[in-house]
Amino acid sequence: MTMRSRADVVDAKRIVVKVGSSSISGENAAQIEPLVDALAAVHGRGAEIILVSSGAIATAIPFLSLDGRPDDLATQQAAAAVGQNVLMWRYQTSLDRYGIIAGQVLLTAGDLENATPRSNAQRAMDRLLALRVLPIVNENDTVATHEIRFGDNDRLAALVAQLVGADLLVLLSDVDALYTKPPHLDGAERIAHVPFGDELAGIEIGSAGRAGVGTGGAETKVSAARIAAAAGTAVLITATTLVAEALEGAPIGTWFDAAAERHTGQAEAALA
């Protein structure tokens, strides 16, 4: 269906939610439970929901006795392997409260830009949803070196939304919305609505997220929103702490209108 406004969110049939590392790791690991509460509520009303979750490397930091996010590739890969295991355990333990089973899906850019693995990923995702499993997607950072160095899961979430023909993509972060300038600056105003094709001229969009564990920021979210919107998926950007309200259609965050016509199967163009 076509999402015309936040009021349509409660009628969405297929939703992709993306959460960043800083929102569910370290001192914020406790936010997994309210996030799962919100996802379970959507699942309970019969909709299909996919979670794209960063956080594998950040989750591994205390288990590997690291001082912070590692700089060298080998340690990043090792941390991703350890952290992904712990992260999935945390999600599944929380989902157990609702009797929901999670399914792990690890993807690379190559999986979505080449026809055969892309088709395989789409088929697997569709089947998981049909079985009422909640897919939890992350980049395969243990082997995908390019994603560790340059990628971000905002873009991955947009491509997943495109892959599965989602009605809505919700991009979560530490900030409740996009603003006309960095929100800590005087005069910053919330951008409530972005019409399709709006270039946001004159808006100061920062490129960095909260320092320490994440790789994305407002710039990556806007870029991802444009990818998804062009494919026919509406997008809402808001804070992780507001996810329940967002999925109930509350007037929060920044809403990106989708293109009038849906376009799927062209993720390779977005990856170019």
Residues making up the annotated binding site for ATP are: 18, 173-174
First to last CA, the chain: 28
Return the structure tokens found at 169.
């993509």
Residue 165: which residues within 8 A CB-CB, separation 6 or more?
Answer: 14, 232, 233, 262, 264
**H-assigned helices in 32-131:** 32-44, 56-60, 73-95, 109-113, 115-130
Length of the chain counted residue by residue: 272
What are residue 97's DSSP bridge partners? none
Annotated binding-site residue numbers for substrate? 54, 141, 153
What are residue 54's DSSP bridge partners? none
Report the alpha-carbon angle 67-70-75, nearest 5.
120
Question: How far apart, in whole angstroms, are the C-alpha atoms of residue 220 and residue 235?
Answer: 13
Question: How far apart, in whole angstroms, are the C-alpha atoms of residue 227 and residue 221?
Answer: 10
What are residue 193's DSSP bridge partners? 255
Annotated binding-site residue numbers? 18, 54, 141, 153, 173-174
